[in-house]
Chains A and B, each alone.
Chain A
Amino acid sequence: MELRKLFGFLPPKFKYFLEDLSIEKFPLAKNSILLINKDDKGFGELKLNVGDSLKSGQKIIFENDEICSFSSVTGVVEEIKEIKWADGKLFTAISIATAKDDDWDSSLSGEEDLFSKSSGELLSRLNECGFEFDNTKTVIVSALDVDLLVSVNQQIIREKSDNIQIGLKLLKQLVGSEKIILAVSPNLKDIAMKVSGGNAEVTAIDPVYPNGVPDLLAMKLLNNKGNIGDSVVIGTEYLNAMIESLKTGRPFVDKVITLIDKEGKPRKNIRARVGTPISEILKANNITVNDNDKLILGGPMQGKASYLVDFPITTNIDAIYVQNELNINEYDNTACINCGSCVSICPYNLQVNLISRYSEFSLFENCNGLNIDCCIECGLCAYVCRSRRPLVQFIQFAKNEINELRKEESVQ
């Protein structure tokens, strides 16, 4: 996170934020927006109209009665419209005028004693609450966060260690203890040992970006032990949400996010209801978004820049970062000078210098030959690029084009 020192021998490291940053509960907002990606499931129209009232935890269903999503709040639907999210995908946005208190859907019921249930029952309950979980694979529970400056997963293992303990015990029941790995940063190893209680193998991971990125984490942990494809990485937050859902019957509606202030320092962790507009959170914390600022949904390395201030919190946003106009880095369209910084920093040893040039000149087949699929889009290459080329965008563009080509080929 810093420039090389004048006489520093080693390149600067990208340390994760490791301090204790307590989670603060954010009150329900007056308005909520649910974002639903219909295309993912593709069952047509929603069985929902403007003026309908929703209860917290109520299922939102398609016309053919397939479950689409869950309402995270109680209230009346005000508007349904199509909107593009920060990454350009089309979403259906449901605006809800939210009631002050939660009125939970009466069909939701929790379990008193989780350990008396059979694996099948537990899995089907998890599925009902919207969790996708495959118990045939090795499970890596990660207490590391994916992006820099984010401290969600770390904070959950600090504050919700009882739930994590139950979670690991349940996972043992579901997949067997030899197939559970708890990955933590060294400073949390004591807590992790206590929490695991022999139910999981605790591994300390060097807290240097991008070790927390799921694919890389799985590779580091399992490279010598077997097939990486046979593993699934879940964060401690996800595990905590699974246990809370099993206990209460409620779906995953409370998301923890790290609020990063304009100076680029994590200010606090906030537990907010899914659907809370980001503008409300920023307003409550006195962070003003001015014109020409950048609102980043996620951390500084992998977050998506948003074009609207009132996007809601969704389950896959880990942080909110408003970047001051002065701190925004500019990309350039200069040619690659072949300095090799990107190649030497890439955790997957990819030939980023060639890939970016092939992508720039539409030679996507060549990108494919250079294993572009291995890229985890950690962003280190663009971080160190001397020509300030948008390398991650070149890679995303090429990956997308290759996927389109493959789709066309499979149709023919």
Chain B
Amino acid sequence: MTLGTKVQKLIVSPSPHIHCGSSITKTMYTFIVALIPAVIFAINSYGLHAARVISLAIAGAMIAEFVIQKIMKRDSSFYDGSALLTGLLLALIIPPSVPWWFVLMGSFISIIIGKQIFGGIGYAPLNPVLVGWAILRISWGDYLNFDIAIINYDLAFSYEYPLSILKKVGASGISGLDIMDLIFGKQSGGLGASAIIWIFLGGVFLLLRGVISSMIPVAFILGVAITSALFWGADSVKYASPLFHIVTGNVMIGAFFLATHYSSSPVNKIPQLLFGFGAGALTIIFRVWGVYPDGVVFALMIMSLLNPILDKITPKIPGLAK
């Protein structure tokens, strides 16, 4: 017998030869499933207007992804759910009353400027959703003014944005608001971002599925709580309580869905803590001293810029002499 005469078509590959079964597609759809309660809440509250914004945002993001990947001759990532998630998240942090072109513009900016210009999934230094939102906020800020965004809806709660009241009037203005009402979404704000309890449950689902690390959301909420507690402790007439800050604006959706965007957040435990805590602290600083009522988006973008430096704090390698 001669070695190598019996030729058979065998598959060869590097080790390991088994895989746990996770994939980008499954991960992205896990995020999307976690957002379904918030989507249902949004449609329940604002009816077809919410459905319109969500559909437009998702369609815009996916079309932008498809077209730009064709133009740039890249492998298509149309079906992996990442563009869908970007569109959905963008829709959930804008109000229901905005015009169609505004939503499409946001999606296009998110995908093209936020993601594909840098090289697509995995290369974005900032969360594309935040890039889209920030450019919309600066360019067409009137449409993102939550004070008047839901003025035409017949809702059981005040159409005024709690954070704007806080900014204009101070803590006395929000004393009438019930924290439980805020938690169950009876507040003005982003389509789904105001559904605090549903976003929180979605986040817990993400943690249980292991697609996000618990460090970033916990540190982010802690950052918000501790920083606002410092202000509140200094002057509780002027500044709002930590609980109020946690259940308003984009803090909850930011903690679980925006801050945990993979390529713009650190992978090591201590950097994740610093990232989350820093973003939480900056959020409150922007809310207190900034021009805009909410600061989550800008705080996260600033911390994302620090991400490569933060991630240099690496854990000790066991057994390695220093």
Contact = CB atoms under 8 A, between A and B. Distances in A.
Are both chains from one complex? yes
A331 interface: yes
A343 B21 CA distance: 18
B22 interface: yes
A135 interface: no
A264 to B, nearest CB: 8
A300 B16 contact: yes
A83 B20 contact: no
B267 A343 contact: yes
A383 B20 contact: yes
A336 B122 contact: yes
B318 interface: yes
Interface string A357-391: 00000000000000100100101101111111010
A293 B9 CA distance: 8
Contacts of A70: none
Interface stretch (A37-45, A187-195, A344-352): A344-352
Contacts of B14: 305, 331, 382, 390, 392-393, 396
Contact of A301 (B15, B119, B268): B15
B315 A337 contact: no
Contacts of A173: none
Interface string A283-321: 000000101111110101111111111110000000001
Interface in A20-37: 30-31, 33
B286 to A, nearest CB: 26
Interface stretch (A5-13, A239-247, A398-406): A5-13
B17 A328 contact: yes
Given A8-B208, A336-B122, A386-B23, A95 B318 contact: no
A277 B121 CA distance: 46
A316 to B, nearest CB: 14
B262 A387 contact: no
Contact of A219 (B18, B22, B319): B319
Given A328-B17, A340-B267, A293 B11 contact: yes
Contacts, number: 192
B236 interface: no
Contacts of A385: 19, 22
Contacts of A350: 317
B17 A321 contact: yes
A99 to B, nearest CB: 15
Interface string B240-253: 00000000000000
B152 interface: no
Contacts of A382: 14-16, 19
B138 interface: no
B120 A335 contact: yes
Nearest to B272: A340
B18 A383 contact: yes
Contact of B210 (A4, A93, A305, A348): A4
A223 interface: yes
Interface string B293-322: 000000000000000000100111111100
A354 B142 CA distance: 42
Contacts of B262: 337-340
Nearest to B205: A7
A305 B17 contact: yes
B213 A340 contact: yes
Interface in B49-71: none
Contacts of A64: none
A337 B17 contact: no
B267 A308 contact: no
A343 B268 contact: yes
B4 interface: yes
Interface centre among B3, B16, B24, B267 (most CB of A within 10 A): B16
A323 interface: yes
A95 B2 contact: yes
Given A335-B123, A344-B213, A374 B15 contact: no
Contacts of B211: 339
Given A83-B3, A349-B315, A301 B20 contact: no
B12 A11 contact: no
Contacts of A344: 213, 267
Given A4-B209, A374-B317, A383 B16 contact: yes
A307 B11 CA distance: 7
Contacts of A388: 19, 23
A116 interface: no
Contacts of A8: 208
B8 A291 contact: yes
B1 interface: yes
B2 A294 contact: no
A3 B21 contact: yes
B200 to A, nearest CB: 17
B10 interface: yes
Nearest to B267: A340
Given A95-B1, A329-B19, 8 more contacts: A31-B1, A95-B2, A294-B12, A353-B267, A371-B320, A374-B320, A385-B19, A386-B22
18 contacts: A78-B1, A78-B2, A81-B4, A293-B11, A294-B13, A298-B15, A303-B17, A304-B15, A305-B15, A308-B6, A308-B10, A327-B18, A328-B11, A335-B120, A337-B24, A338-B262, A385-B19, A386-B23
6 nearest A-B residue pairs (beta carbon): A340-B267, A379-B16, A335-B122, A393-B14, A329-B19, A219-B319
Interface of A: 1-4, 6-9, 11-12, 30-31, 33, 78-79, 81, 83, 86, 93, 95, 219, 223, 228, 264, 277, 279, 289, 291-296, 298, 300-311, 321, 323, 325, 327-329, 331, 334-341, 343-344, 347-351, 353, 371, 374, 377, 379-380, 382-388, 390, 392-393, 396
Interface of B: 1-4, 6, 8-24, 26-27, 119-123, 208-211, 213, 262-263, 265-268, 311, 314-320
